[in-house]
Structure 1
């Protein structure tokens, strides 16, 4: 077998490879570059699960980054248990014939309780007094203190939020090299999220993007040199491309105006009660899962969605996901320049407290506005400093600095029918590789490892 490192450069597309990515360009010139139709929806959890099982979302069950649990009557976003992903994983398939095969998962999602040999994933600590401490979770557990002792604390604020930037990808790259030096895994899965942040924040083609490309290209170049010096094959992979957007679509507000959303007042704030609502949306970038607690409204909901500006098409649960109950009864797909915001309140004064915070689990949808600090705050740095002082002293507080202006977002993803320049890429040094679909990535990676 050939040892393999897979560099998942999120957001990388054919159109971004060029003068500002000399290392990636040289790697592509020396090998084979395929761009392919992304998984549906083209989001992180779905794409990665498809790559690592070779199954469609209808088969592995990861229908989005989050969905509505019909039994608990709760929405669940960014869960981490690998048990959620159905099907045999890539390393399990290889291990069946080669018992000594090992795998390291460095920040790929669904990283907890997997059968991989070594893994690191973001996992804050939440003491009972309401505070939050940034940290990582590792398998084996004692690896957490070992990797932090050698590399320092993971720079969690640069992994997501207004400070999202290159340090998180740099740390992940160093941790991947650290695992190689300590354990020499047969397969090393490395997640490099940097482009995901800037492309959503500024949009493709923005003046800020060339400098961001140069930063991640430097990280990728160091990893290529590191692995090739150890005779480890490298594949560069991405999950999706980012489309330029200028139109947020608020499906839950439309449903509320129809009287289909049930609102619960909690301490003067409005919470959407999914279990009591007739119709509601769980928004995830350019795809929204629509759940019908009142099936009699199906035709009316479809008519409303199809007449809504920014909605390109409506798919059924059966057609999109083979009837998987995790998926919405209907799935709305945005037009190329639009995306779905989860907002359901009609007055910002009664928006839930978590709306203005970085709070990826409470929100009934993905919220890229968390990448921004509210421009209307007069002294945002002072407010953040005050919060951090209170936190250090052991007091609880609310870091409510996120704006409620979805028009700030300039890039999104999730659609599967996109132009070739917005499709994900697979770059290999192996001759004859031609990836056509997200499901095919599994067999291509397996072939890279088994090639003599």
Structure 2
């Protein structure tokens, strides 16, 4: 709902010009909570482009603010305090906020009106107690006009400087509001300090009434206010990004990213589309096999295939027990050097945030991806994250995050964004790896092209917009990459139920107790293992092979041991199966071999010869030219490319460092 409203208001400014600015700022100064950050800053940006006049924007905003405030003043005086206290909560005026504004006016008078116009929470409420208390209208009007004018001027400066340096924010209003609010906190702190100065002046006047002229003191206060706010607003507006001492790399993984997400003109990922135009992009990235999250993130971090780095699937297969619920969380399972280890050897600092296969990684700042094996339980998952993150770092990140409770994947991704923003600004690591999972979750649940998928992409794109805006691309390279695409699935194949029907697998309920052959399923792919001596039993191997061929029927294709060796995948497997034509695989050994799903799901895991499973890559910033089309690349190329940007060595990588400055 909020996203739709912000988009509508943004459109009013764009389409109605000064009239839109006037009416929206009038609404902002009444009881309607329109964020002024979505009104004045974009108008000031358009003014800088010659579409509007900078002074005209400030005047329209000031007049609109005064009009809305004056209406609130007279309506409040007419309605009266008792009615507002009783019914105010129904029109966004809860008693606590109303009382706060009332006490403010009673204590600080006209000067309080001026200061309140520059502060959040009380800014749009302050006219109400002024009307109730029947403050002289001309005094109220003067303080309101000066305060509103100063606020609009500050917002216009911020809009011209912050958005001018990050024009991609114009394509994501929510990201723009978040970034501007983050940049404006210094101005708000300055106003609070000036308010304290005013309080001191009043106290000093009362203590020295016979010797001090109050008018001179108030004149001094207003002069100091104007100097202070000018200094703070101008300084914060131009220094929009904290300078870094050296070039750095931010590698962002969007789980389930496809090339169409940034190449299609209809994609809602406006920040990704702008990033692709500003820098380099691939038409396709071929994932490693199997095309699932953890092996491919290990390949992203090492530049080698799964058989070499050791992360063979999402979950661990035990040769005796079979498939387990234990995920490859622990980085100590990696058998080759990683990108972060190469950076550390170069004397660089590193941060990993929600990156798969990062638990126990030797980095400077670590929030590992680790979750409960008991299915989707966000409370349990968050407890695992808390348990496995350094307490001092976690306390620091919680303090600076607006997300206080993780209820879903979007909350998780937003929390990780804000963790990354804080770490990048405060600690300035040379290399940061960050992983988003909302897009993947939406496609698994709803299929590739559902409305929920488009909304998840828009959400993740907004988070990335915040990261882009907060970093200086003259000294920072931002690399965005995926790990796999998706195919739609409407039917499920239960290979273990098929093996069970042949007597080759025994189970008690859902628990498999003994097996000669078993399938380890990955949604769109399944790996078939033979137990112990069965691998050398030619007669049994032939039976399994014939059974699989008999039941293929256009539902899957068989990848034999020779082809797996060629792909450097699944070294202990008998064979692997890739789903086809709307089929997927289940781990279950119960029920029929073929099961119809209730709706459409999304899956992945098969070989990258299906274009729907291709993922994407785009990059912009330091060391990257604009307009570079990389064509089709391998996921193994990402790690050596990042290492090259850092001037770090990763000699074990099998991929090639991409030429981002042809």
TM-score range normalised by the length of the shorter chain: 0.7 to 0.9
Alignment match of 2:603 (pick from 385, 403, 412): 412
* Structure with greater proportional strand content: 1
1:277 to 515, 526, 530: 515
1:423 Cα deviation after fit: 1.0
1:292 is matched with which residue? 530
**Pair 1:117 & 2:364 matched:** yes
1:389-416 Cα offsets, whole Å, 9 max, x none, are xxxxxxxxxxxxxxx9744452111122
Equivalent-residue separation in structure 1 for 2:629 and 2:337 (angstroms): 23
Q: Distance in 2 between matches of 1:312 and 1:448?
A: 41
Deviation at 1:94, TM superposition (A): 3.0
- Provide the C-alpha distance between the structure 2 equivalents of 1:438 and 1:65, rounded to a whole number of angstroms: 17
TM-score by length of 1: 0.76
* 2:423 equivalent to 1:423: no
CA distance in 1, matches of 2:613, 2:571: 28
| Structure 1 residue 259 corresponds to structure 2 residue 456 | no
Contact residue 316 and residue 327 of structure 2 kept, 8 A: no
Matches within 5 A, 1:49-448: 49-70=298-319, 75-96=324-345, 98-99=346-347, 101-123=348-370, 134-135=382-383, 136=385, 137-151=387-401, 155-159=405-409, 166-228=410-472, 231-264=475-508, 269-273=509-513, 276-293=514-531, 294-295=534-535, 296=537, 297-308=540-551, 309=553, 311-317=555-561, 319-320=563-564, 327-346=572-591, 406-420=597-611, 422-429=613-620, 430-431=624-625, 434=630, 436-448=633-645
Q: 5+ unaligned residues in a row in structure 1: which ranges?
A: 160-165, 348-403
1:66-86 Cα offsets, whole Å, 9 max, x none, are 232125656253132111111
Once residues 284 and 133 of structure 1 are traced to their aligned partners in structure 2, the CA distance between those partners, rounded to angstroms, is 21
1:5 corresponding residue in structure 2: 250
- Runs of 4+ more than 6 Å apart: 322-326
Corresponding residue of 1:33: 281
Partner residue, 1:398: none
Q: Could you tell me how far 1:133 is from its partner in structure 2? A: 7.5
Query: In the aligned structure 1, how far is the partner of 2:461 from the partner of 2:397?
Result: 24
Taking structure 1 as reference, are residues 154 and 445 closer, same or farther at Cα in structure 2, changes over 3 Å only? Answer: farther
Contact 1:169/1:192, CA 8 A, preserved across alignment: yes
**2:525–2:606 CA contact under 8 A, matched in 1:** yes
The Cα of 1:9 is off from its aligned counterpart by 1.3
Summarize the Cα distance change of 1:168–1:336 in structure 2 as closer, same or farther, 3 Å threshold. Answer: farther
Deviations 1:354-407 (A, max 9, x none): xxxxxxxxxxxxxxxxxxxxxxxxxxxxxxxxxxxxxxxxxxxxxxxxxx9744
Structure 2: which 5+ runs fail to align? 1-245, 374-378, 648-659
Higher share of residues assigned helix: 2
Deviations 1:3-49 (A, max 9, x none): 01111111111223343111111111112211121111111111011
Query: How well do the aligned residues superpose, as a CA RMSD in angstroms?
Result: 2.9
**1:167 aligns to what SS in structure 2?**
helix
Q: 1:428 to 1:125 in 2, by over 3 A?
A: closer
- Aligned residue-pair number: 378
Structure number with greater CO (CA < 8 Å, separation at least 6) is: 1
Q: TM-score, normalised by structure 2?
A: 0.53
Could you tell me how far 1:152 is from its partner in structure 2?
6.5
| Per-residue deviation, residues 247-297 of structure 1 (Å, max 9, x unmatched) | 211111111111111113xxxx44112xx2111111112111211113332
SS of residue matched to 2:328? coil
Q: 1:299 to 1:54 in 2, by over 3 A?
A: same
Instruction: Provide closer, same or farther for how the CA distance between residues 133 and 169 of structure 1 changes in structure 2, counting only shifts above 3 A.
Output: closer
Secondary structure of the 1:245 match is: strand
Q: Summarize the Cα distance change of 1:124–1:69 in structure 2 as closer, same or farther, 3 Å threshold.
A: closer
Larger Cα-atom Rg: 2
- My pick for the range that moved more, 16-25 or 250-259, is 16-25
Are 1:243 and 1:413, in contact at CA under 8 Å, matched by a contact in 2?
yes
- DSSP 3-state at the match of 1:227: coil
Cα distance in 2 for partners of 1:82, 1:428 equals 26
- Give 1:138 deviation, angstroms: 4.6
